[in-house]
Structure 1
Amino acid sequence: MAKKEIGHMNKYVYDAFLWVFSILVDLFFREIHPRGSWKVPETGPVIFVCAPHANQFVDPLILMRVVRKSTERRIHVLIAEKSMKRKFIGAMAGLTGAVPVGRAMDATKTAQGKLYLPDPVNDPCLIRGVGTDFESKAFETGGTLYLPQVNVNHSAASAEMAEIKGPEELRLKRPFKGGIAMQQLTGRNDMTEDGRFVDGAQAKKGPADGFEGTDFKVAPKMNQTEVYDAVHEVLHRGGSIGIFPEGGSHDRTELLPLKAGIAIMALGTVEAKPDCNLKIVPVGMNYFHAHRFRSRAVIEFGTPIDVPPELAQKFAGEGRREAIGTILETVRQALVSVTVQAPDYEVLMLIQAVRRLYNPKGKKLPLPTVVELNRRLCQGYDRYKNDPRIVQLKGEVLAYNKRLLALRIRDHQVEYAKMSYFVALFLFWYRLAKLCILAIFVVPGLLLFSLVFISGKLISIKKSKEALAASNVKVEAKDVIATWKLLVALVVAPLTYAFWIVIFTWLYSYNNFWGYVRPGIPLKALILAQAVVYPTITYAALRFGEVGMDIIKSLGPLIAILLPTRSNEFVKIRKRRENLSERVTELINELGPEMFEDFDTKRIIKDPFTHSPPRTPGGRPKEPVYPISPIHDQFPSQLPRNESFKDLTNQDFFSTRPSTPKKSRSRNGSLGGFQLKAFSTLDGKDSLDEVSKKIRGAMRDRGRRRSSGADGWEASSDAGSGASTPRSEFSESLTMTKKER
């Protein structure tokens, strides 16, 4: 029996699979915004390098969908071999051209005994064991050792084995990294956060007194030869590969260390075919609450990276490790440029709060703008985080966040404090009435689809707990929640609709719904009608439910305003926000130009404290006066007050491919055949004097002709000699001739 080809794609199944799951993605996500998709090459081999890997199953699905819509390209996605063992997922992934990859983390096992570093200062690659058996089958050269995860903010450290020297001694290819790993293996705390020993600590060679070692896990060496061969074959025929180089999904706020596989695939492809013109495209998967229903996402494509043939030659020779390191660092830097990097969850919350405070007018920013602003703020925080002003402001902003949480309001709802009592009262009853009307449309769909919501919630929570227990890098395992919600909906939703169809069809055939429906309707027509109506009701309930949830969230602050005991708290928090907003803006305006040379010319948000409009004597801002122009007459609607056409030129990003100028059909070039020429050939004082004489002469001649009543004075010429009047000479000097036009 012939062995099945790895990475074989059935294009029809691929498109059908993508169409079905795109419907689920559109239902789960409120908005998916591609940014920079015009950078994706339309032809030639491409490796899509995606990070962070925030959703097990959703990330590759969104990547495939966005790239298919933008460039008509299909992608062979690398998928964990563990996932291929699931019947449905494995079958569908195989037909869509997915390439299974064995991961060491999926094969880890708890090992017997404990580890420690006998000489961490002089020889950190030497490992000793207590009660271990390194010569057993579980240990082999090229395998990996894993230390326990200490806390949710740090992933478990790992290192590759280079040599087995005995049952209780081995040598690593490279030492464990980081201060936490060094503490785990030595029991000492005289080192820095990155694992370097402080002054005076070098004198002590061994571990701490009484230290017994640490528990560990071991994973075998993975043979990826077949995977690399399949990837090279796809790329050599001009296909595209999608890979998540972090090695697995996670819910951290920063990138995990990249695996070397991406570099080996790229360098191996170019080594075998130097003229293949391989491109590596970094893709940032930027989510806003990725695990929540009706969340948002921005998929950002970076500038394609070339793989130099010289580097591939070095990869084939003695510089293999150096070549791999160069590619990995290049890819990492490219991913940093398209993702939002925060060291931990607290800093991420700080950055998002500062972004809102930096937008005091509450202008609704497009998602790509939000991502870009978050990225710049993260870069600024990373550079100035030890500045006393940043430290002080950080504490105040986090305290403001905690106060909002205590009051159970959101930042944008602080402005409710400006409302008068009667306006708040009217708004409360208006929104409550609107909510009651929306409930009429939401409740039927909620009843129909409730089983899907409940089962998806329960199963996803269960799976996330299992994933968290088996992982060394996850914080709360939120990365698997969205995946399982979609998979459960894919199975339970059709069963739910089938259940209701059977129930209502039986009720009709039994007693015509207790006599309320006339008899004689064909059962086939009734079943078909239900198959159409039920999904429609569900979708309508979904859309109306979104609006209803927004209204429910707004009722709490309105009630607080109406209560005399809490309205004063709103006034205080609003003043607090105004003060913080002004301080944040001032500090960004001071430090921004140091970070970005084009800070002022490429501002994302105009400074409200230095670009505010002029005010009338009564104190109100003057309305902007727009000049009458063909553009204004053609588009009479004005831009919002905080927008301008000038702002559009300050944005350095595009959501779609920028349009290329169309070639002119004229033989003489652009502008419909006109050749632009200088209005005059004046090049000195003498020329100016000559023109002045001609102008004065023309004016005198014009006066004489008018006084004498002569006709045809304006332009007379002798066709034979080509002589012209002073006026025509003046026209020649300043404008293009009629013949040239």
Structure 2
Amino acid sequence: MAPARSGSPTPWSYVLIRWLFRFVLKIFYGSIVIENTHLIPPTGKPCIVCANHSNSLTDALLLVTSIPTKRRNQLRLTAKATQFGHKTFTSWLIESAGTVPIKRRKDYADDSEADNSGAMLKLMEALEMGDAICLFPEGMSRYHPTIAPLKTGVARLVSDVLSRNRDDPDFEISVLTCSVTYMHRQHFRSDVLVTFHEPMTFTPKNNPEMLAPVDFNNIRSLTAQMQEKISSGTLDSPSWSLIRTSKLAARMYAPLGTQMTLGDHVRLTRTFLEAFKAAQDIHKEHKGETTEETAEIDAASEQILQLRDDLKIYQDKLAHWGIKDDRIRFPLPRHTILSRMFIRLTWFLCLFVISIPGLLLWLPIFATTFYAVHNFKKTGPIFDTWDEIAQYKLIYGLMSGLCVWFVAVALTWPIAFITFFLVPSLMWITLRWMEDAVAAFRAFTALWRLLMVGKPTLKNMHEKRKGLYARVMNLALETLELPESPESYFKLSGGKEKGRVRGSWDSSARYFSIKRRRKRDWNETLRLYDQVDYPEEE
């Protein structure tokens, strides 16, 4: 019988960080939807949490706040060693939470300096105490549409821990894979999906192939399984353009207004993404072959690739005009457009006016984060800086927000006991009003652009969309075997707590809740234009 383990005690700074950033993350992101927390091994069971890594420190903070305290008392983090030893808030934050420094070869001129044997020993000891540790097997954070090939470090760590405990045949260690999907990772009030997968469990008794001396093929096999699990829960694409096209296909199949969870939306988008990727791979594989069998396969893949290209052209035109597919789906008469423009503009002005007092409090925060991010972008190319933008916004937003709060309380000292609660409450409801005000103005500008495009052009686009829609539905039903009625299917699937508000009463009742879900489109952010494009790859 394996001895009982209780895990390491939780540092007070870790409790503070978890509480503080749970609040900050829910301010910065519109919805954080967490799936399958029941799969997380409880405290006392050694566990390695592995996830894709595209958003620097934000990924770690998101995992820390996503794991319920009822399941794990803490998650031991790792971070690149270059973030330690500085007199900055970020450095203090990392060190005080018990984070283990990892030396990356790219950060050292001499490979001998990148020695992580001490760090690995600390991680093994933590696991043997029953802790959960967090590792990002891609090896580095990067702004890229595809998941990098995973390093073998996690699999080797599993082998080392099992080998150290080979005398205890029932010693159990789990690898818990997790997929993190940011709809628009660096933009204010975007949405995030965190999906935990079934853990892979290993013991010396059941997995002798992982004991030293281990065949490296077994290490590679475990790493490949991890890659497959992580990729299965997020959007893993060779290009941003393909993600953009897949999102359009998903929106055509399940149009605006379909009551679906964020998890369903991501999985649906991924289904179309995988179809386009498969067609592209088949086309490359059979290029130059002329057998009867390959000709039939090639014809099917060519149809899918042609659909992909036509969808891209269609989306390019929509992006150029600044309108959504839904505006083409249901053409509106001119008088309806004008009346809706009046309603949207009036609603925007009303919400903006009542938001002005709160906006004065938010202004220093927005200005500080904008200035910090603007300067940070100049330090390197997109692929090396954009993965840390959200981190900069969170840290600078938090610090400037706390300053605004304390200064406001100090300036109103005679009634500080009131303003201490009034200031954050005012900022909170201002964010609610501004979210709806921006959405109203975004709708107003989209309707204005409809008028500018002109009726003949819109009619022509409507006819093109009908053809595209028929081809998307044919791909969805005949090839991908998706449900025939997405509106009915997704309304019944998923759960209430997975990022969806059911019915008008629920929506109204949760208006003042920071967890509320009122946006009709998971692609929205707090911007005056629809976010459908990505930076060009470098």
TM range (shorter): 0.7 to 0.9
Q: Report the CA distance between 1:648 and its aligned residue.
A: 3.7
Alignment RMSD: 2.7
* Letter of the 2:245 counterpart: L
**Selected match of 1:490 from 363, 384, 398:** 398
**Selected match of 2:423 from 529, 534, 538:** 534
* Letter of the 1:90 counterpart: S
Aligned match of 2:46: 45
Equivalents in 1 of 2:479, 2:326: separation in Å?
Answer: 26
Q: Does structure 1 residue 276 correspond to structure 2 residue 171?
A: yes
* Letter of the 1:277 counterpart: E
* Letter of the 1:482 counterpart: A
Equivalents in 1 of 2:273, 2:398: separation in Å?
Answer: 38
Residues 653 and 534 of structure 1: CA distance in aligned 2, closer, same or farther (over 3 Å): closer
Q: Report the CA distance between 1:652 and its aligned residue.
A: 11
Q: Report the CA distance between 1:527 and its aligned residue.
A: 3.1
User: Contact 1:68–1:74 at 8 Å: present in 2 too?
Assistant: no
Between 266-275 and 393-402, the greater mean CA deviation after superposition: 266-275
The 5-angstrom pairing of residues 149-188 of structure 1 reads none
SS at match of 2:478: helix
Aligned match of 1:578: 466
Equivalents in 1 of 2:49, 2:390: separation in Å?
Answer: 22
The 5-angstrom pairing of residues 247-646 of structure 1 reads 247-274=139-166, 275-307=170-202, 309=204, 314=209, 317-360=212-255, 362-385=257-280, 386=283, 387-415=301-329, 417=331, 419-466=332-379, 468=380, 475=383, 477-501=385-409, 504-505=411-412, 524-562=413-451, 566-592=454-480, 599=481, 603=482, 605-607=483-485, 642-643=487-488
Q: Report the CA distance between 1:289 and its aligned residue.
A: 0.2
Equivalents in 2 of 1:97, 1:497: separation in Å?
Answer: 29
Equivalents in 2 of 1:448, 1:567: separation in Å?
Answer: 44
User: Contact 1:40–1:71 at 8 Å: present in 2 too?
Assistant: yes
User: Contact 1:47–1:280 at 8 Å: present in 2 too?
Assistant: yes
What TM-score, normalized to structure 2? 0.81
Residues 317 and 493 of structure 1: CA distance in aligned 2, closer, same or farther (over 3 Å): closer
* 1:707-737 per-position Cα deviation (integer Å, ceiling 9, x unaligned): xxxxxxxxxxxxxxxxxxxxxxxxxxxxxxx
Q: Report the CA distance between 1:476 and its aligned residue.
A: 6.2
Residues 476 and 247 of structure 1: CA distance in aligned 2, closer, same or farther (over 3 Å): closer
Identity %: 21
Aligned match of 2:288: none
Aligned match of 1:189: none
Equivalents in 2 of 1:241, 1:93: separation in Å?
Answer: 14
* Letter of the 1:71 counterpart: R
Q: How many residues align?
A: 469
* 1:235-266 per-position Cα deviation (integer Å, ceiling 9, x unaligned): 11111011111112111111112222212211
SS at match of 1:223: coil
Aligned match of 2:74: 74
* 1:533-584 per-position Cα deviation (integer Å, ceiling 9, x unaligned): 2222221211110001111111123223445x62333332233222211111
Gap runs ≥5 in structure 2: 1-6, 284-300, 500-538
* 1:574-627 per-position Cα deviation (integer Å, ceiling 9, x unaligned): 3322221111111232222xxxxxx4xxx4x4347xxxxxxxxxxxxxxxxxxx
Q: Report the CA distance between 1:10 and its aligned residue.
A: 4.2
Equivalents in 1 of 2:9, 2:390: separation in Å?
Answer: 26
* 1:16-53 per-position Cα deviation (integer Å, ceiling 9, x unaligned): 221111111110011000112221122411110011x1
Q: Does structure 1 residue 244 correspond to structure 2 residue 139?
A: no
Equivalents in 2 of 1:561, 1:286: separation in Å?
Answer: 32
User: Contact 2:162–2:171 at 8 Å: present in 1 too?
Assistant: yes
Equivalents in 1 of 2:497, 2:350: separation in Å?
Answer: 39
Residues 86 and 313 of structure 1: CA distance in aligned 2, closer, same or farther (over 3 Å): farther
Which protein has the larger Cα radius of gyration, Structure 1 or Structure 2? Answer: 1
Ranked by relative contact order (alpha carbons within 8 Å, sequence separation 6 or more), the top structure is: 2
SS at match of 1:309: coil
Between 84-93 and 272-281, the greater mean CA deviation after superposition: 84-93
Equivalents in 1 of 2:343, 2:227: separation in Å?
Answer: 52
* Letter of the 2:376 counterpart: K
What TM-score, normalized to structure 1? 0.59
User: Contact 1:358–1:585 at 8 Å: present in 2 too?
Assistant: yes
Q: Does structure 1 residue 91 correspond to structure 2 residue 92?
A: yes
Q: Report the CA distance between 1:462 and its aligned residue.
A: 2.1
Gap runs ≥5 in structure 1: 1-6, 110-137, 144-219, 506-523, 593-598, 609-641, 657-741
* Letter of the 1:405 counterpart: A
* 1:41-98 per-position Cα deviation (integer Å, ceiling 9, x unaligned): 22411110011x1211211111111112562431101111111223333333233221
* 1:663-697 per-position Cα deviation (integer Å, ceiling 9, x unaligned): xxxxxxxxxxxxxxxxxxxxxxxxxxxxxxxxxxx
Residues 654 and 300 of structure 1: CA distance in aligned 2, closer, same or farther (over 3 Å): farther
* 1:436-462 per-position Cα deviation (integer Å, ceiling 9, x unaligned): 110122222222221111110121232
Q: Report the CA distance between 1:362 and its aligned residue.
A: 4.5
Equivalents in 2 of 1:324, 1:584: separation in Å?
Answer: 41
Equivalents in 2 of 1:329, 1:310: separation in Å?
Answer: 22
Q: Report the CA distance between 1:315 and its aligned residue.
A: 5.3
User: Contact 1:29–1:293 at 8 Å: present in 2 too?
Assistant: yes
Larger % of helix: which?
2
User: Contact 2:323–2:449 at 8 Å: present in 1 too?
Assistant: no
Equivalents in 2 of 1:64, 1:381: separation in Å?
Answer: 34
SS at match of 2:323: coil
